Copies of this chain bind each other. A is one copy, B any other.
Amino acid sequence: MDSDEFYMQMALAEARRALEEGEIPVGAVVVCGDRVVAKARNQTERLNDSTAHAEMLALTAAMNALGAKYLPDCTMYVTLEPCHMCAGAAYWSKLGRLVYGASDEQRGYARLGCPLHPRTRVRRGVLADEAAALLKIFFENIRK
C-alpha cells in the first residue's frame, strides 16, 4: 500500500461512519508532512446544513489545527471528487495537493470546469471502487 492509499483508507473510514449515521458517505483527511491535521465526514443531515460537506469541514479544521489560512504544504484525501463549492474552498486555501477516489460525473468540479488553485496537484482514482461501493449502498438504501 502506498501512502496515498494509507490515508485514503482513513478517509474511507470516515465515509463509513457517515454511512452509519445516515449521511451520504464521503470522508476527508488532511495531511501535512506525515501528520494528520484533520479528519471529517459529510454531516449535512446532522448539522442540518447543506454546505457541511466533508471537505469544507476538513479544510476549516486543518486551518484551525495549523493556525494558518493557507494549506500549500497539505494534501487533502477525499473519497469522492469534490463539488464546485469544495473545489472553491480548496482554491482559497491554496491546497498543495488533492487526492480523490471516485469521480462524480454529475457534480464534480472537473466535469463542471470549476477551478482548483493553479498550484494544486491532483491525483484521482485512489481506492475509487471502495468509495463508489459505499455510495452505492447509501443510494440503494434510500430506494428501499
Contact = CB atoms under 8 A, between A and B. Distances in A.
Interface of A: 44-45, 48-51, 53, 56, 59-60, 63-64, 67-70, 83-89, 91-94, 112-115
Contacts of A53: 92
Given A85-B89, A87-B84, A88-B85, A51 B60 contact: yes
A55 to B, nearest CB: 10
B84 A68 contact: no
Contacts of A70: 50
A83 B86 CA distance: 12
A60 B49 contact: yes
A113 B111 CA distance: 12
Contacts of A68: 48
